[in-house]
Amino acid sequence: MNSEKNKSYKKLSDIPGPTTLPFFGTTLSSSGFGGKDLMKSNEEQVKKYGSLVKQEHYWNYPIIEVFDPDDIDKILKHGRYGLIRPPIDIMITYRNMRKDKYTNAGLTNSIGDQWVHLKTRLTKSLHSPQMILNSLPKINETGDDFISLMRQHAPNIIGFEDLIQRVVAENNCHMVLGRRPGLLTKGEDEKLAYFMDIHKKYWCALHNSYYGFPMWKFFPNKIWKDFVECEDTMYSIAEELTQDTLDGHYYEGFFSEYLYDDSVSFFDKVTAVLDFLIAGIETVVNTLIFSICLIAKSESTQKKLQEELCRVLPRKDSPVDAEELKNLPYLKACVKECFRYTPTTPNLARMLETSIQLQGYNIPAYTLILCQTWYNCMQDKNFYRAKDFLPERWLSDGNSATGERFWPHRESVDRHFGFGKRMCPGNRFAFQEICVILAKVFRNFSVEYKDKLDYKYEFLLTPVKPINIIVKELPE
Ligand code: HEM
């Protein structure tokens, strides 16, 4: 019956796209599919082929890129609301091979009953507004140590990304493991510092395995070796960190219920810790770097933000608690604008359990679909002066000084934390963490960033480093 209906639709193979070759698909002809300049490649494709594009990976494996916001909405809301995010092949392959360590693929890569089980066990407290609020004093504590560290490096901070990584890793360990490794105060926690180093290489290996020729499936090439080295090293660090926590005194935190549950195997606990550190560090690091640089580059934004912060936080070391956060609309607008302008997760992948019809084409079930969400955030038809960084667009009264209103404002195209059942469970925690750190930075310093903010697509949208800034102490 369904297939009868689908006969009136055009086939997947008819969707326009770059020239395809046997075996190589579109990998040789496409304008940078999976290339480092994602926005340029997105714009070129839409111009050439329209808003629905068929790419083919090696072995002519089809990948449908979707640019139209209504189509993206339809996909994300289809069936069981995006239950299947395609697992990352190299991760699944490796974790399946290492049954001695992994009994499951981890929350991020699981599907079906396994995912439902992990999701229920692992994310309950991350969805609790009270638990999120309870984490505020801890974030304030690390935030204050971060400001002291910035002070030690001021005024010319070379390689600022290193300091940002420390504060984020410190916060995430605090949240996941209930203990502070001391990356901001004691100097180096060797294990975690190594985790941070290797973790950058890891994202790059993921990108190359996903978009490049999957030679690693046939023999252990550099991509495979890099990936295995990273996964093994990070696993053994997560193992030690988990053991340290279990050996220490009990703590009440986001994962205590899981970590202290005797019916959960030690290996499963380590996998959960590892996956939350992987998912929650680089994403927040990139967002903080983008936000600080974008605010620093816009004199008027920085001034307005500082005025708001001085009004709400009377002292430079005033805590940023729930009440203060409520009264910082411009700060939140800056964070939202940064997510729109440079989202570290610029697209969403899906496989649907049943076929879907888009623009007269039938897309069969389980086709790999890439929703290019960032592309829509940068279109004038969705956002007023889309290519400009304008936090005011997120305020209900627009720019009260100039009376400028910001229309169109199609907020629903901005999906930086994803959508539906597979949406990021760390969204509230991450948003709050980013707000607190930014509030502390701009309440204490005026920041200058002179370089062009360059970024590349490496599975995540990542700033091209090093980031060098100049900071000047603000008066009390
Ligand atoms: C700026 C920060 C972050 C951004 C932009 C971000 C973005 C995302 C996105 C886009 C997804 C996929 C959603 C989808 O497919 O619909 C995701 C999944 C996920 N994120 Fe985040 N994330 C961030 C921070 C965090 C943090 C701090 C944690 C941990 C506390 C975390 C844990 C996860 C996990 C475990 C998943 C997989 C969920 C699942 O498959 O069910 N993320 N994130």
For residue 110, the ligand 1 atom closest to its alpha carbon is 40
How close is the Cα of 371 to the center of ligand 1, in Å?
A: 16
Domain ranges of the chain: 2-473
CA of residue 262 to ligand 1 center, whole Å = 27
Q: Do residues 92 and 395 touch, judged by C-beta distance below 8 A? A: no
Q: Report the atom number in ligand 1 closest to the C-alpha of 429.
A: 27
* CA–CA separation, 229 and 239 (whole Å): 15
Q: Tell me, what DSSP letter sits at residue 111?
A: -
What DSSP element (H or E) covers 274? Answer: helix 266-297
**How far, in Å, from the CA of 413 to the mean position of ligand 1?**
17
CATH of span 2-473: 1.10.630.10
Closest approach atom of ligand 1 to CA 350: 15
Strands of 215-360, DSSP E? 348-350, 356-358
Distance separating alpha carbons of residues 54 and 214, to the nearest angstrom: 20
Q: How far is the CA of 345 from the centre of ligand 1 (A)?
A: 9
Which atom of ligand 1 is the closest one to the Cα of 176?
A: 30
Q: How many CB atoms lie within 10 A of CB 444?
A: 25
For a substitution probing ligand 1, which of 104, 424, 433, 437 has the most ligand atoms within 8 Å of its CB?
Answer: 424
Q: Which of 121, 285, 417 to mutate to test the pocket of ligand 1 (most atoms within 8 A of CB)?
A: 417
426 C-alpha to ligand 1 centroid (Å) = 6
Q: From ligand 1's centre to the CA of 382, what distance in Å?
A: 24
For residue 64, how far is its CA from the centre of ligand 1 (angstroms)?
22
Is the CB of residue 255 below 6 angstroms from any atom belonging to ligand 1? no
Nearest atom in ligand 1 to the alpha carbon of residue 109 is 40
Please state the atom number of ligand 1 nearest to the C-alpha of residue 82.
Answer: 16
CA distance 76 to 85: 11
Strand segments, DSSP code E, in 319-444 are 348-350, 356-358, 361-363, 368-371
Q: Where are the beta strands (DSSP E) in 332-449?
A: 348-350, 356-358, 361-363, 368-371, 445-448
Give per-residue pLDDT as tens, 54-107: 999 989 999 999 999 999 999 999 988 878 999 899 999 999 999 999 999 999
Nearest-atom index, ligand 1, CA of 419: 16
pLDDT at 1: 44
Predicted local confidence at residue 142, as pLDDT: 95
Categorise residue 460: left if φ over 0, alpha if ψ from -120 to 50, beta otherwise: beta
Determine the distance separating the centroid of ligand 1 and the alpha carbon of 417, expressed in angstroms.
Answer: 6
With a 6 Å cutoff on the Cβ, whether 335 touches ligand 1 is no
Closest CA to 246 of 347, 301, 313, 177: 177
* CA 54/CA 67 separation, integer angstroms: 11
For the chain, residues with pLDDT lower than 50 are: 1
CA distance 289 to 447: 12
- Structure token digits, residue 26: 């579109």
- Minimal-distance CA residue to ligand 1 atom 24: 280
Say if residues 269 and 242 touch (Cβ distance below 8 Å). Answer: yes
**Other CB atoms closer than 10 Å to residue 452's CB: what's the count?**
8
Task: Look up tokens 């969400």; give the residue.
Answer: 373
pLDDT of residue 326: 97
Chain-centre distance for alpha carbon 393: 22
CA distances from 69 to 66, 76, 336 (A): 8, 10, 19
Residue 237 near residue 192, CB atoms below 8 Å = yes
Neighbour tally for 361: CB within 10 Å = 18
Which residue owns the Cα nearest ligand 1 atom 17? 424
